[in-house]
Amino acid sequence: MTPVKRFDDKVAVVTAAGAGIGAATARALAEEGARVVVSDISQTRAEEIAEALRALGHSVRTAKVDVSAPDQVEALLADTLREWDRLDVLINNAGLGLPKPLHEQSVDEWQRTLDVTLSGTFYGIKWAVPIMRAQGGGAIVNTASICGLAGDYNMGPYNAAKAGVVNLTRAAALENASHGIRVNCVCPGVVNTRVAHLMAPGREDAFLRAQGPLHPLQRVAEPEEIARVILFLASDEASFVT
């Protein structure tokens, strides 16, 4: 007999799913039985992830979405509902940050960081909640960061945006608990992803080695390790966590 998987018959949308934590989460959801929308600002990256999952027999769609554009996020979730009749899980994973001193950040760089990292998360919550309320519940997991809990050098806009994601998560959790919607966030440290590599172009390995001792386990995380926590929070195993 085939074992029941945690996300059998469920529909999940993952933003920034073309690489890193998002890709690992999309893969893990598909392996656990979910129908998954792989959303990314890069259609090419999204298709690469989706094609690999389809080859394994998983049900996957792709969507090219810039989460800083509210109309694109609204369309992403509306299209998912139209195609698959429900939305059980939303993973708001998109975010960015440019490493430089706060006073050297341009106004445009500040705004772009907030638009993607904080506003993009808000847009996802805004348009997922009515769908989930109408169907009687759902789970939203936002990717925040340790930078949202404790500031980091040369990452001022990112620190501010991720702190916003943490408190936005708290607000959404309180507002929607009575509707069967759980809202949580994860706050990773440094993770071995493309984004982390961009922090030190040309010296990625040295950067990751230097970051390892800053963590209690003396190493950086792998995307799959964060994905496993996200799946727990999105699953019925976390039914009392919000």
Mean pLDDT across the chain, nearest whole number? 93
Overall average pLDDT of the 73-94 stretch: 99
Q: How confident is the model at residue 78 (pLDDT cuts 50, 70, 90)?
A: very high
The pairs formed by 169-172 with CB atoms below 8 angstroms and a separation of 24 or more are 169/142, 169/144, 172/125, 172/129, 172/140
The pLDDT value given to residue 200: 63
pLDDT digits (tens, 9 = 90+) for 152-162: 888 899 999 99
pLDDT digits (tens, 9 = 90+) for 97-115: 888 999 999 999 999 999 9
Tell me whether residue 2 is in a domain: no
Q: Give which of 92, 94, 82, 106 is closest to 41, Cα–Cα.
A: 94
Buried b (16+ CB within 10 A) or exposed e, 223-241: beebbebbbebbbeebeee
Q: CA-CA distance, 25 to 208, in Å (whole number)?
A: 22
Among 5-19, 78-92, 218-232, the least confident range: 218-232
Q: CA-CA distance, 99 to 116, in Å (whole number)?
A: 16
**What H or E segment, with its residue span, contains residue 45?**
helix 43-55
The pLDDT value given to residue 84: 98
Q: How confident is the model at residue 2 (pLDDT cuts 50, 70, 90)?
A: low
User: Quick check: 1 pLDDT over 60?
Assistant: no
C-alpha angle with apex 181: 19 to 146, nearest 5 degrees? 45
Q: How confident is the model at residue 6 (pLDDT cuts 50, 70, 90)?
A: very high
Please state, as a whole number, how many other Cβ atoms lie within 10 Å of the Cβ of residue 92: 30
What residues act catalytically?
Answer: 158
Tell me whether residue 213 is in a domain: no
Tell me whether residue 156 is in a domain: yes
165 alpha-carbon distance from chain centroid: 11
192 alpha-carbon distance from chain centroid: 15
Q: Give which of 76, 1, 62, 65 is closest to 30, Cα–Cα.
A: 62
pTM of the model: 0.94
Q: How confident is the model at residue 198 (pLDDT cuts 50, 70, 90)?
A: low
User: Quick check: 89 pLDDT over 60?
Assistant: yes
Tell me whether residue 64 is in a domain: yes
Cβ atoms 7, 29 nearer than 8 A = yes
User: Quick check: 212 pLDDT over 80?
Assistant: no
Q: Give which of 67, 185, 186, 45 is closest to 116, Cα–Cα.
A: 67
Render 49-104 in DSSP notation, one character per residue.
HHHHHHHTT--EEEEE--TTSHHHHHHHHHHHHHHHS---EEEE-------S-GGG
CATH number at 28 reads: 3.40.50.720
Q: Give which of 220, 199, 198 is closest to 209, Cα–Cα.
A: 220
Helix (H, G, I), strand (E, B) or coil at 220: coil
Tell me whether residue 33 is in a domain: yes
Tell me whether residue 125 is in a domain: yes
Total tally of structural domains belonging to the chain: 1
Overall average pLDDT of the 169-184 stretch: 99
Q: How confident is the model at residue 165 (pLDDT cuts 50, 70, 90)?
A: very high
**What H or E segment, with its residue span, contains residue 120?**
helix 120-135
Overall average pLDDT of the 9-14 stretch: 98
Tell me whether residue 5 is in a domain: no
Tell me whether residue 209 is in a domain: no
C-alpha dihedral sign at 8, 17, 99, 199? positive
Written as six digits, the tokens of 141 are 């997991």
Question: Terminus-to-terminus CA distance in the chain, angstroms?
Answer: 33
Q: How confident is the model at residue 196 (pLDDT cuts 50, 70, 90)?
A: low
Range of the domain at 29: 11-190+223-238
User: Quick check: 206 pLDDT over 90?
Assistant: no
